[in-house]
Amino acid sequence: MADPINPTEKTGNKHAVLTDGFLLRVFDALDAHDSVALLALIDPLEPEDYADLLHFCSAEQREQLFDLTKTKLNPDVLPLLDENVREDVVEQMEPGQLAEAITNLETDDAVEVMENLDRQTQREVLSALPAEERDALRTALSYPEDSAGRLMQRELLAVPDDWNSQQCVDYIRSRQELPEAFYDVFVVDSEGHTLGAVPLHRLLTAKSTTPIKEIMDEQSQRMPVMMDQKEVAYLFQRYGLVSAPVEDEQHRLVGMITIDDVIDIIEERATEELVHLSGVSEPDFYRDIVTTTRSRFTWLFVNLITAMLASYVISFFEGTLQSVVALAVLMPIVASQGGNAGTQTLAVAVRGLALRELTSVNAVAFLAKEASVGAFNGLLFAGIISICAGLWYHNWMIALVIALAMIINMIAAGLAGALIPIILNKFKIDPAISSSALVTTVTDVCGYLAFLGLATIFIIK
């Protein structure tokens, strides 16, 4: 029989995702206000599992659960929480308790927790910190939100360039505290400038008398504190880095960025791109109803305006629609196919821009390719829909009109899906946020205009 308090009983993996059965037992204990059973359930949880548990809870359950465990909260839980969930948790913590938790975090994790606090709470927490940590956090928070300075951690290992490998190993052993995760030992000159880095495996296998400069890799990829985090993620991906030094304006080593931090950035950016393409400003899974409604209203309103524009185009052809009712039945097909084709091209273009696969050098070739794909798909679907329309209404002139309109709109969809994000990116506007509504507008307007305009020319007249 499975252990009733084992959160991963189905897999036997300590770090597996929480099971449904375990969650139900937690919720039952919360409903019954059974603190003894609740503590027995959650005490074995790792920080990652406890963070997941808080995400599964409602706001009321979260408050009840955290109220029971806040006196022995593992600080590592805080940076693992979604921003909206963390806000709920932090509201229940006294500034002194929050300061104590932040003291036990690496700098980058501490900054992540601090940066979303209101100014008053920030001041109260900072005042409760030791002077050295307070100064380090203030400096980190002074950097722009999406900069390398916000992402870096100050805890690192740096050694002088005139040491040998044995001196470096002895230094590491003598340190009372080490970074939670580090892969390289950085080598600096007398002024603190980064000269290179020695991977740990190389340091540990080198002869004790080997000068450190002989086994170090010269550091070619250095991150200025003001570098955009997207650029940081790109350099890590491009050069296969696991860690990199961060330098101030005087090119002195002030911190490091490790691959685990970059993975978080990549995940965050990928999530943003996904929801932006859907017309959502940012992920809102854990937001309350009012805030979620407000954040989605803007783009729904934009879509309403674009839909009205498409309807305005249709209004010019009221006489045509009244004369041939079949047109009203068929015209959404053209617009819908164009919209889907445009969205496909848009997804490829946005990804290409994000990964720098699509640049000004190959933009024309990309446009030509997408227009050609639109034309070929347009021809294929034109053949299919014209045969269906002809057999349906026994009117081959309608079949010809919808075929021509399909080809035109599919080409327009390919061009719009490729060109719009390129133009927006040129003007420093995030193409993932704005492109979708614009592409849909183009395909709707072009689809209706082509179909109804051709019908007016070939059928009515």
Q: Give the CATH number for residue 170.
A: 3.10.580.10
pLDDT at 12 over 80: no
Same domain, 401 and 448: yes
Residue 13 lies in a domain: no
| pLDDT mean over 100-105 | 92
Residue 127 lies in a domain: yes
* Whole-number pLDDT of residue 281: 61
| pLDDT mean over 138-164 | 94
Residue 248 lies in a domain: yes
pLDDT at 172 over 90: yes
Higher pLDDT, 219 or 57: 57
Last residue of a domain, one of 136, 151, 166: 151
Same domain, 259 and 293: no
Residue 4 lies in a domain: no
pTM of the full structure: 0.76
| pLDDT mean over 15-28 | 82
* Whole-number pLDDT of residue 299: 78
Same domain, 375 and 456: yes
* Whole-number pLDDT of residue 2: 39
279-318 residue pLDDT tens: 666 666 777 788 878 877 887 888 889 889 999 999 999 9
* Whole-number pLDDT of residue 197: 95
**In terms of Cα–Cα distance, which of 330, 340, 342 is closest to 384?**
330
Same domain, 314 and 410: yes
pLDDT at 167 over 90: yes
User: Could you tell me the pLDDT band of residue 116, with boundaries at 50, 70 and 90?
Assistant: confident
* Whole-number pLDDT of residue 9: 46
User: Could you tell me the pLDDT band of residue 13, with boundaries at 50, 70 and 90?
Assistant: very low
pLDDT at 16 over 60: no
* Whole-number pLDDT of residue 3: 44
Residue 293 lies in a domain: yes
Same domain, 224 and 142: no
Higher pLDDT, 305 or 181: 305
Last residue of a domain, one of 246, 276, 306: 276
- When divided into structural domains, the chain yields a total of 3
Residue 386 lies in a domain: yes
* Whole-number pLDDT of residue 72: 77
Higher pLDDT, 246 or 306: 246
pLDDT at 437 over 90: no
Residue 324 lies in a domain: yes
339-382 residue pLDDT tens: 999 999 999 999 899 888 999 999 999 999 999 999 999 999 99
| pLDDT mean over 19-35 | 92
Mean pLDDT of the residues in the chain: 89
Last residue of a domain, one of 93, 126, 151: 151
Q: Give the CATH number for residue 360.
A: 1.10.357.20
**3-state secondary structure labels for all residues of the chain:** CCCCCCCCCCCCCCCCCCCHHHHHHHHHHHHCCCHHHHHHHHCCCCHHHHHHHHHHCCHHHHHHHHHHHHHHCCHHHHHHCCHHHHHHHHHCCCHHHHHHHHHCCCHHHHHHHHCCCCHHHHHHHHHCCCHHHHHHHHHHHHCCCCEHHHHCECCCCEEECCCEHHHHHHHHHHCCCCCCCCCEEEEECCCCEEEEEEEHHHHHHCCCCCEHHHHCEECCCCEECCCEHHHHHHHHHHHCCCEEEEECCCCEEEEEEEHHHHHHHHHHHHHHHHHHHCCCCCCCCCCCHHHHHHHHHHHHHHHHHHHHHHHHHHHCCHHHHHHCCHHHHHHHHHHHHHHHHHHHHHHHHHHHHHCCCCCCCCHHHHHHHHHHHHHHHHHHHHHHHHHHHHHHHCCHHHHHHHHHHHHHHHHHHHHHHHHHHHHHHHCCCCHHHHHHHHHHHHHHHHHHHHHHHHHHHHHHC
Domain that includes residue 374, residue range:
289-460
Q: Give the CATH number for residue 54.
A: 1.25.60.10
* Whole-number pLDDT of residue 181: 84
Residue 398 lies in a domain: yes
